[in-house]
Amino acid sequence: MLSKRFAQVAIGAAALLMLAGGPALAKKVKVVPGDPPITVDIPATWEVSDSKRGIEAKTADEEVYIWFESYKSTQYDKLIIEHEKYFEEQGVTITAKPKQEEKEHPNFVIKKSDFPAPYEGKPTVLRYPSVVPRSEEKRNRLVTYWTSPDGDKEYADELTKIMKSLGASIDEQ
């Protein structure tokens, strides 16, 4: 009788943990302080650390790296030089101009640049989505995304959720 009751409690607890696990699978991380702050939901299994202008997140297998940075428009050139140096040190070669897209929103413009950038002779996905506010008083946001084509596919759902959470946070501004 005791073992049957224990089994029922254990199954119930496991089910409760699985149901409660959905929202707990992501951690809300502050990218830009403020009221309200700009945040992004990063999967709990990813490693997150602070960077010079924001945060860096990477998958446990180090297949995907993504940076979220906040900067003043006057800092853009310096920021890009730092990125070029970093990727050069990693062995990534940008081989041509990026493919670019822009999407207009009421309070900001989203610009996306996809760079052809092989690593050790193999293709990679090097993407720079940026959020440029229409107000000069607000800081720009740059997201840098680097992975292999396989990683891009494997983590596509998680990355979509990450970017949607960032978009929702920016929309609150």
What is the tens place of the pLDDT at every residue in 91-136? 999 999 999 999 998 888 999 999 999 999 999 999 999 988 888 8
Quick one: what percent of the chain has pLDDT higher than 70? 84
- Structural Rg of the chain based on CA atoms: 20
Say whether 91 sits in a helix, a strand or coil.
Answer: coil
Residue 172 has a pLDDT of 67
Domain boundary assignment for the chain = 25-171
* DSSP letter (8 states) at residue 98: P
Residues forming beta bridges with residue 68, ordered by sequence position:
55, 143
The mean pLDDT of 125-153, rounded to a whole number, is 91
- pLDDT of 22 over the 80 cut: no
Confidence of residue 173 (pLDDT cuts 50, 70, 90): low
pLDDT tens, 108-117? 899 999 999 9
Q: Which of 7-11, 73-77, 122-126, 159-163 has the lowest mean pLDDT?
A: 7-11
Supply the DSSP string of 130-146, one letter for each residue. Answer: EEEESSTTSPEEEEEEE
Average pLDDT of the residues of the chain:
83
The model carries a pTM of 0.79
Confidence of residue 36 (pLDDT cuts 50, 70, 90): confident
Residue 160 has a pLDDT of 92
- pLDDT of 68 over the 90 cut: yes
- pLDDT of 19 over the 60 cut: no
Residue 162 has a pLDDT of 92
Residues forming beta bridges with residue 47, ordered by sequence position:
58
Confidence of residue 60 (pLDDT cuts 50, 70, 90): very high
Q: Is the distance from CB of 100 to CB of 111 less than 8 angstroms?
A: yes
Say whether 120 sits in a helix, a strand or coil.
Answer: coil
**Topology given in CATH for the domain delimited by 25-171:** Jelly Rolls (2.60.120)
- pLDDT of 2 over the 70 cut: no
